[in-house]
Structure 1
Amino acid sequence: MKRIVVDPINRIEGHLRVEIEVDEATGKVEDALSSGTAWRGIELIVNGRDPRDAWMFVQRICGVCTTVHALGSLRAVEDALGIEIPKNANFIRNIIAGTQMVHDHLVHFYHLHALDWVSPVAALRADPAATAALQNTVLEKYSLTFEGPVSFDTNAYPKEFPKATTAYFREIQNKIKGIVESGQLGLFSAHYWDHPDYNVLPPEAHLMAVSHYLNMLDRQREIVIPHVIFGGKNPHPHYIVGGMPCSISMNDMNAPINTERLAVVDTAINLTIDLVNNFYIPDALVIGDLFVKAGFADGGGLAGQRVLAFGDFPEDRYSGTSNGDYFKNLLIRANGVVENFGQGIGQAVFHPLEGKDLTDPNVLTEGVEHSWYRYPEAGKDLHPWNGVTTPQYTEPKEGTKTNWKYLNEDGKYSWIKTPKWNGKMAEVGPLAKYIIVYTKVKQGIIGEPTWAEKFMVDQIEAVSKALNLPPEKWMPTTVGRTAARALDAQLHAYIAKYFFDKLINSIKAGDTTVANTATWDPATWPKEAKGVGLHEAPRGGLSHWVTIKNGKIENYQAIVPSTWNACPRDGKAGYGAYEASMIDTKVKIAEKPLEILRVLHSFDPCLACATHLYDKEGKELAVVRTDPYL
C-alpha cells in the first residue's frame, strides 16, 4: 500500500490537497481524502454591511466564474426584500449567465483539463496530412447539429471553423517542436509526458487538440463580450439589486445599450455557438469515444448514486425563491435529487426540491465533523440561514501546523464544510443537471419538456448512440462528467441566443425598463428578513443565504458547488464527490497519478497542486512537480 499526497493540485482555481492510499498490486485506490487548504471567510466580511452591496463583495469569492456569485447574492437579497425584477433585467441576467457558462466550460476543457488527455510532445509524431484528414472525419462524425428556437437568426455563416490543411498543422507542429527543443515548455511543462494513457489517442489527435488549445486561447475572450456590454466589464460585471444598471435607448447612441451595442452582443453570441459546435463538441466527443473504447469507465463516484441540482433560467418574472415561485417557470427544471441512476433509468429515483424544502431546517444542512470550524452544538448540522463561520484549526495527524505530512482523516482536515441533502451526500454539476432532467423526462415526471429540456435529452441520446452505450454506463464516469460539460456549453450557447431574442422582441414592443427601484430605500424594508438565491453555475448548484436585520446583513452563508463536491467525509453520510470519485479510479503508476488529476479536473475544481509521494512508513519516495514555478 502506498500513500500519495498531492498538494497543491494545479490547473484549478484555489488550493486543494488530496491524500490517497493505493494498492500498488491492483492500482485500486483504497481511501481518499480531499482538503480545501484555504479559508474563504468572505461571509464574515459582508456581515453588518448594506445588503445592496453584498453582490459586489461575494462575487470576488472566485475570479474564474466571475459573475455567478453576484447572481446568487442578488437573488438572495431580492428574495428577502420581496423585490421582483423587470423582465428585461431577467433576460439580460440570463444572457450573462449563459455566456459565462460557455466561457467557463470552454476554458476548463482546453486550458485546464486538456493536458490530462492530450500531450503536446506526442503531437510531434503526427503526420500533418493525416491530421488534416482526421479533422474532417471528426467534424463529420462527432458534430451535434442541434438548434435552439430563435425568432430570427442573424448568423449568415460560421465565423469560426477549424482549419484542416496539411500546411496549417505542419506549422503548428513546427511551433511545438521549437518549444520542446528549447527546453522551455512554458504552459505545457506542468505535465507528465510519458504516461501510458497518452497512447489512447493517436498522434494526429494530439496535434489537432493542441492546435485547438491555441485557437481557444485567442478566441475565448470574445465569448464574454455581452458581460462588457451589459455589465460594463469582465471579470465581475456590474449589477444592481432590483435589476441591471444598463439603461436602454434605441435613439441615444451614447446610451449603455443601443442598436450598435446590441449588434455587438449578437455577433458574440453567434460566434460562441460556432466555437462550441465546431470545436468543443467534436473534440470532447472524439476523445471521450476513444477513451471509452479503451476501457476507461471509472471515476463516477457519487454520480451514479446521488446527484442534486436547483434548476435555472426563469423564463419571466418571479416573485421570490423561498416562496417557490422561482421554480414555476424555469427553462431548465432540474430542481431535485436523483438516486441510483447508475442502475439504469428504470431504477433511478427522483426526489423534488421545492420552495418548502429550502426553508426546512432538515433538508439542506452543513456539517463540520471533519472541517476546521466549530458549531455551537457539537455533532449537530445547521441550516444555512443559521450557519456559523467560526474557525477551529487543528494540527495534522503527522507534521506541524505549518508543515503537514499527513492530515488527520479521523479528525478535522479541511476548510470546506460538508453540505447534505436529508443527511446524505450528493454530487452537483452539469452531469448532475443532465442526469436529473433526463430522468424526469424519461420517467414522465416532466410531461411537456421545454425546448431546452428536450435539447438535453436529444444530446444525451445522440452521445449514447455515438458511444454505443446506454446513458447509465457512460454518464456517471470521468469521461461522462467531461462530456456533460461540453453538452452544457452547447445548450447555454443557444440559451444566450434564446434570451437575446426575447430581449430584442421586448425592446421592439416598447419596453426598455431594466430596474425596479420601488423598494430601494431601506425605510421600505421589513425589520427582519431572510432570503435564498439559487443558480446553476458552471460547477453546479449554487445557493446564497442571507438574513437581514434593521437594514444590515446579520448572517450570510454561501454553499458553492465545490463545497458539495470537495467536502470532507461524514461519519454517517460517507464520502464527498471528490473522495468517492478518487476511490472509484484506478492508478497505473503511483509516481505519476495522472488518473487522479484527470478525475479531479473533470469537476473543474474551484480551489490549486504539486505532488509528493510517500510509502506506508511515511518516507518520501519522490516529488513530482505539476507546477513549473514551484
Structure 2
Amino acid sequence: MKRVVVDPISRIEGHLRVEIKVDEATGKVEDALSSGTAWRGIELVAKNRDPRDLWAFVQRICGVCTSTHALASLRAVEDALGIKIPKNANAIRNIMHSCLDVHDHIVHFYHLHALDWVSPVAALAADPAKTAQLQNDILNTYNVSGLAPADLESSSSAYPKEFPKATTAYFGAVQAKIKKIVDSGQLGIFSAQWWDHPDYNILPPEVHLMGVAHYLNILDRQRDIVIPHVIFGGKNPHPHYIVGGMPCAISMDDMNAPINTARLAAVDQSISLTKDLVNYFYLPDILAIGKIYVQAGKVDGGGLSKKRALSYGDYPDEPYTGIADGDYHRKNIVRSNGVVENFALGVDKATFINLEGKDFMDPQYLSEEVDHSWFEYPNGTKTLHPIDGVTDPKFTGPKTGTKEKWEFLDEDNKYSWIKSPTFKGKACEVGPLAKYIVVYTKVKQGILKDPTWAEQMIVRQIDTVSQVLGVPAHVWMTSTVGRTACRALDAQVAATISQYFYNQLVANIKAGDVAVADTTNFDPNTWAPESKGVGLVDAPRGGLGHWIHIKDGRSANYQCIVPSTWNACPKTTAGEHGAYEDSMIDTKVKIADKPLEILKAIHSFDPCLACATHLYNKKGEKIVSVNTDALCK
C-alpha cells in the first residue's frame, strides 16, 4: 500500500491538498483525504457590518464565480428584511447569474480541466487534414443545439454564428504553434502535467489537436460571455448590486442611461454568442471525448453522487416574498431543491427527500461539523446550524512532519480548514451533476407534476446524451465523465435561461415598467430590532447558502456553506467521506506516482477553494479598517 500526496492541486481556484492510499498491484484506492490548506475568515470580516454593504465584502470570497456570493448575500438580507425586488431587477439578476454559470463552466473545462483529457504533446502526432474532417464529423454527430424551446433558440438572431474552424491550414498553424512551445521546453500554460500518462492514449491525436485549438479559441472569446455583468453591474468581476434590486437605471430615450437600446443590444449579442460557444464548441467536445471514454469502460469517479446528491433550486420566474417562507421555491423555474439517494441503482429506484423554505433554517436538516476540521465549537458542541455558526480556529497540525512542513495528514483527527456540512447528519455531493440527478428523478418519478420548460429541457438533455453514449443515465452520470458532461449541459440550459429572462426584461420595458429597485425598506429605521434570513443560489459549483442574523441594524452573525465546503469537506462525525474523498476512492489509478485519474476526478468538481478558504493574520491583529459610510463623522 502506497500513500501518495498531491499538494497543491493545480489548475483550481485556491489551495487544495489530497492524499490517497493506493494498492499499486491493483490500482485500487483504499482511502483518500481532502484538505483545504487555508482558513476562510470572511465570516469575521462580515460581523458587525451594515447588512446593506455585505454583498460587496462577501463577493470577494471568490474571483472566479464573481457575482454568486453577492447574489446569495442580497437574497439573505432581503429574506431577513422582507424585501421584494421589482420584476426588472429579478430578470436582470437572473441574466447575470445565468451568464456567469456559462462563463464559469466554459472557462473551467477549457482552461482548468481540458488538459486532463487532451495533451499538447500528443497533438503533435495529429494529421491536420484528418483533424479538420474530425471537426466537421463531430459537429454533425454531436449537434445537440435543438434541445431548447423553439422560441428561445437564436435562429432569428441578426448576429453571425460562431462555428469552430475546420480547415487543414488552420489546424496546421495551431500545430506549428504548439510545436514551437513544446520544442522550447517552456510549456507555459501547458506546464505541470504528466504528459506520458497512458490515459492520453485513449483519445486519437486528432482529438488532442482539436481540443488544444479550442483551448486557444475560448481563451480569446470567454470575456464576451460576461458582457451582461458589465452592462447591468458596471464591471466584471465583482459587478455592482443594491439591496432591493439593481443600481442600473433604464431609459429607452436617454442614450447616456446605464440601460438603453444600444446596451440591451449588446446583451442580446452576448447571449447569442454564448449559445454558439456552448452548442458548437463545448458540448460537442465533451460528448466526443465522453463517448470514447465510456466505450473504454471509464465510468468510475462517481463516488458520493451514487449515494446522495443535493441541490437548492434557482431562477425565480417572478419576484418572491422570501426564501424561508417558501415563496422562492414555488417561483423557481429549476426546482432542483431536494436530495436524491441511491441514484446509481436507477432513477426508478432512487429515493427523493424534499428540501425547501423553512427547512433551510432547521438544524435537523442542515448543519456543519468540525470533528475533522481545524475549528472548535463552544462547550464541546459537535454540530451547529449556520445561523448559529461559530468560526473559531484550532489548528493542530499534521500527523507527521511539522506545522510548517507537513508529511502526512492526521486522518483520525483534524486535517482540514474546511468544515463538514451535512444533510440530516450525512455528507452530500453538490454541483451540476447533483442538480441534474434531482431534476431527472423528480420528473421521471412524477414528483414534478407540471415541469417547467427548463426542467423539461434538462430531461431531454439527459435522455439524448444517454442515447449518444449508449448507456443508461444512472451509469454515465455517476462518473467523472458524467460530472464533466452535466456541467456542459448546465451551461446550455443557463444560456437558454439568459435568453428567456432577456426576452422577459424587454417585454416588461416595452410595457412601460422601468423600475429596477425598491428602496422602501432600505432605511434601517424601518427594520425590526432583530431578524434572520437565508440566501440561496445554485452556483456554478452547486448549492450555495449564506445565513445572516441582523440585530440592531448590524450583522450579528454571518455564515456561508459554499459548494466547495460540501464537496471538499473532511470526514463527518460518523466517519463518512466527503464528495472529493469518495470520488477518489471510486477511481482506479494506473501509476501511483502519477495519479492523473485522481486529478481528473477532483477537477471534474471545478474546485474553488477560495470560496472554502480565506487568508488570515495568524496573530489575530486588526490589519485595516475601511469606513464605507459617507455620512460617518
Smaller-chain TM-score bracket:
over 0.9
Q: Render the CA deviation track for 1:309-328: whole Å, top value 9, x for unaligned.
A: 00000000100001111111
Asked if 1:289 corresponds to 2:319, the answer is no
The answer on whether the counterparts of 1:150 and 1:501 sit within 8 Å (CA) in structure 2 is no
CA distance in 1, matches of 2:153, 2:89: 21
Secondary structure, counterpart of 1:52 in structure 2 = coil
Mapping for residues 100-499 of structure 1, pairs under 5 Å: 100-145=100-145, 146-148=147-149, 150=151, 153=154, 154-156=156-158, 158-499=160-501
Alpha-carbon distance, 1:147 to partner: 2.4
Pairwise CA distance, 1:527: 0.3
Q: Which secondary structure state, in structure 2, belongs to the residue aligned with residue 121 of structure 1? A: helix
Give the secondary-structure state (helix, strand or coil) at the position aligned to 2:384.
Answer: coil
Unaligned 5+ runs, structure 1: 609-630
In structure 1, give the amino acid aligned to 2:42: I
The structural deviation recorded for 1:573 is: 5.2
Amino acid aligned to 2:457 = F
* Identical aligned residues as a percent: 67
SS of the equivalent of 1:595 reads helix
Whether the aligned pair in 2 keeps the contact of 1:128 and 1:169 (CA below 8 Å) is yes
Distance in 2 (alpha carbons) for counterparts of 1:376 and 1:490: 46
**1:481-630 correspondence runs (5 A):** 481-572=483-574, 574-607=576-609
Q: Structure 1 counterpart of 2:531, which letter?
A: A
1:218-241 C-alpha deviation (Å, 9 max, x unpaired): 000000000000000000000000
| Aligned-pair CA distance for 1:151 | 6.9
What amino acid does structure 1 have at the position aligned with 2:436?
Y
Once residues 139 and 156 of structure 1 are traced to their aligned partners in structure 2, the CA distance between those partners, rounded to angstroms, is 22
- Partner secondary structure for residue 383 of structure 2: coil
Any conservation in 2 of the 1:126–1:203 contact (CA below 8 Å)?
A: yes
Shift of 1:149: 5.3
Q: Please state whether the residue corresponding to 1:574 is helix, strand or coil.
A: coil
Report if aligned partners of 1:148, 1:498 keep a CA contact under 8 Å in 2.
Answer: no
Say which SS state the counterpart of residue 487 (structure 2) adopts.
Answer: helix
Tell me, in whole angstroms, the C-alpha distance in 2 between the residues paired with 1:551 and 1:263.
Answer: 40
Q: Are 2:348 and 2:444, in contact at CA under 8 Å, matched by a contact in 1?
A: no
Quote how far apart the aligned CAs of 1:467 are: 0.6
Mapped partners of 2:398, 2:153: distance in 1:
60
C-alpha separation between the residues in 2 aligned to 1:131 and 1:258?
A: 44
Alpha-carbon distance, 1:379 to partner: 4.8
Tell me the equivalent position of 1:43: 43
SS in 2 for 1:582: helix
Contact 2:77 2:535 in 1 (8 A): yes
Output the amino acid matched with 1:4: V
Q: Is the 8 A contact 2:436 2:486 kept in 1?
A: yes
Shift of 1:9: 0.4
Measure, in 2, the Cα distance between the counterparts of 1:245 and 1:532: 22
**Cα shift readout 1:481-528 (whole Å, capped 9, x = no counterpart):** 000000000110010010000000000000000000001110000000
Answer yes or no: is the 8 Å Cα contact 1:423–1:573 preserved in 2.
no
Q: TM-score, normalised by structure 1?
A: 0.95
Which SS does the other structure have where 1:557 is aligned?
strand
Question: What is the aligned partner in structure 1 of residue 32 from structure 2?
Answer: 32
Rounded to whole Å, the distance in 2 between the matches of 1:330 and 1:413 is 38
Q: CA deviation at 1:132?
A: 0.6
SS at match of 1:493: helix
Q: Distance in 1 between matches of 2:153 and 2:275?
A: 15
1:157 & 1:163 partners in 2: Cα distance? 18
Instruction: Give per-residue Cα distances to partners, 1:376-418, cap 9 Å, x unaligned.
Output: 1325210110000000110211111111111101111100000
- Distance in 2 between residues matched to 1:593 and 1:430, nearest whole Å: 25
Amino acid at match of 2:535: G
2:78 corresponds to which letter in structure 1? E
Q: Distance in 2 between matches of 1:117 and 1:480?
A: 14
Deviations 1:4-25 (A, max 9, x none): 0111100000010011101001
Matches of 1:158 and 1:122, distance apart in 2: 33
Determine if contact 1:72/1:535 at 8 Å carries over to the other structure.
yes
CA contact (8 A) 2:94 2:501 kept: yes
How far is 1:158 from its partner? Answer: 4.4
Are 1:11 and 2:11 matched, yes or no? yes
Question: Shift of residue 155 of structure 1?
Answer: 1.3
CA-based RMSD: 1.0
SS at match of 1:99: helix
- Cα distance in 2 for partners of 1:178, 1:164 equals 22
Question: What is the match of residue 65 of structure 1?
Answer: 65
Residue deviations 1:573-600 (CA, integer Å, cap 9, x gap): 5000000000000110011110110000
2:46 aligned with 1:53: no
Deviations 1:570-628 (A, max 9, x none): 231500000000000011001111011000000000029xxxxxxxxxxxxxxxxxxxx
Partner of 1:616: none
Change (3 A) 1:575 1:65: same
Q: Which amino acid in the other structure matches residue 6 of structure 2?
A: V
Equivalents in 1 of 2:533, 2:194: separation in Å? 47
Q: How far apart are the structure 2 equivalents of 1:244 and 1:94? A: 12
Confirm or deny: 8 A CA contact 2:79 2:322 kept in the other structure: yes
Q: CA deviation at 1:356?
A: 2.2
SS state of the match for residue 109, structure 2? Answer: helix
Residues 361, 534 of structure 2: 8 Å contact kept: no
Give unmatched runs, 5+ long, in structure 2.
611-633
Q: Provide the TM-score with structure 2 as the length reference.
A: 0.95
Deviation at 1:152? Answer: 8.6
Secondary structure, counterpart of 1:108 in structure 2: helix
Query: Kindly tell me: are residues 479 and 186 of structure 1, through their superposed partners in 2, closer, same or farther at Cα, counting changes over 3 Å?
Result: same
Q: Is the 8 A contact 1:65 1:100 kept in 2?
A: yes
Deviations 1:80-132 (A, max 9, x none): 00000001000000000000000000000000000100001101100111001
AA aligned opposite 1:50: D
Query: Deviation at 1:157?
Result: 5.6
Q: Does the 8 Å contact 2:159/2:269 carry over to 1?
A: no
